[in-house]
Amino acid sequence: MKISTRNLTKTYQDADRQLKVIHDLSIDFPEDCSIAVVGRSGIGKSTLLHLLGGLDRPSSGEILYDEQNIAALSNDALSEFRGRNVGFIFQFHHLLPEFSALENVAMPLIILGTPEAQALEQARAVLDRVGLSERLEHVPGKLSGGEQQRVAIARAVVAQPRIILADEPTGNLDLSTARDAQQLLLEINRELHNTLIVVTHSAELANAMDSVVEMQPGGGLTIQRANRTSL
């Protein structure tokens, strides 16, 4: 599944002035590879990721998944589209504290209407894939930071989405744990043949990606490196 933007603009109202974070951005992201989005803090990288994933609405312009403009979908249709096609990973994992690792990972499938027994079976398989088969019944508070992020990765990929969007996925981890999470993300990206777009300040994580783009003031993107395919 290919993600593209056409004349994408996002403006926020700041007191009596308008703050244009992204202006007239048109770009085609390559399919089935990993892409790092880098740039200084506060420049709009997370805003771009939220727009691409349908967590926020653009002020104008289009966000195309293949030829479907998700910016034109109703709230209900957009929510269902996200659930079936997009997995999200954040710096702070946002796991539900009262549910076990297994229940947290199964939740996206249950929301989509998957029978509970099937959802739990799929969640169990994915948690085994990320090395947490012995921690299925632990609630997040009983897991280490690295284990919590592995649960978050499992939750993001359990429905086998075509797109994974990750916002500083290693930013809250120590160096060794961050490298483990980085390797896991890239392995799953190759296994599922999906598109992985990562916002990061980590040079190590960015350098491990197939392509790197840098965000400029106003939301423009410039290519730093394109290993496998051109942006």
Please, is 174 exposed, middle or buried when counting C-beta atoms within 10 Å of its C-beta (0-12, 13-18, 19+)? exposed
End-to-end CA gap in the chain: 15
pLDDT of residue 117: 96
pTM: 0.89
For 31-42, the pLDDT digits (tens) are 888 999 998 888
Domain at 3-226: CATH architecture: 3-Layer(aba) Sandwich (3.40)
Q: Is the pLDDT of residue 160 over 80?
A: yes
pLDDT one-digit tens code per residue, 91-106: 777 899 999 999 999 9
CA dihedral (168, 174, 177, 183) positive or negative:
positive
Asked if pLDDT for residue 230 goes beyond 50, the answer is no
Coil vs helix vs strand at 144 = coil
Split at pLDDT 50, 70, 90, the class of 172 is confident
- What are the pLDDT digits (tens) for 79-133? 999 989 999 998 777 899 999 999 999 999 999 999 999 999 999 999 999 899 9
Domain ranges (residues) in the chain: 3-226
pLDDT (0 to 100) of residue 146: 87
The token duo for 38 is: 């880098």
